Amino acid sequence: MFRSVFRPASLVLLLAVMPACSDDQPTTPTTPTNPPVTETFSGSINPNGAATHTFTGSTAGNITATLSAVGPDSATIVGFLLGVWNGGSCTTVTASDAASQNTVLYGNLSASAVLCVRIYDVGRLTENATYEITVVHP
């Protein structure tokens, strides 16, 4: 007989405690992630010339810089670099002195910074070259 009285009493106690154990507690908000930003830069360079473009990476994350187009021929060879802008010049982080169309440079940003891409003649241009650079960054 003791058992039949004890079980209903324990059931009442369990039901009284359950609302205090609900999952309705506030959750810690997650930090929103910013979607990557895509920027496109274009122009032309002369033989022995160069062009630099700056952009700001707002948070840590991966960066890709693609030489999307170069002309007059897609096989035109130029120098292409990804770096950090120091206020007066583009300090090289990664580069290719034999870049052609679709060359991709990769980087990783650890904090917000002003960055840069640079395209330059490596002594192979005999006429002006047009270009388009696509940068994807945080």
> Any idea what the CATH number is for the domain that residue 93 is in?
2.60.120.380
In a domain, 1, yes or no: no
pLDDT at res. 34: 77
Percent of the chain with pLDDT over 70: 76
Range of the domain at 58: 37-137
Cα distance between residue 66 and residue 80, in whole Å: 9
Query: Of 97, 131, 1, 117, whose CA–CA distance to 56 is shortest?
Result: 117
Q: Is residue 5, in this structure, part of any structural domain at all?
A: no
**Within a domain: 67:** yes
Strands 37-45 and 104-109, how do they pair?
unpaired
> pLDDT (tens digit, 9 = 90+) per residue, 2-31?
444 444 443 333 333 344 444 555 555 555
Tell me the pTM: 0.76
Least confidently predicted of 1-15, 55-69, 85-99, 123-137? 1-15
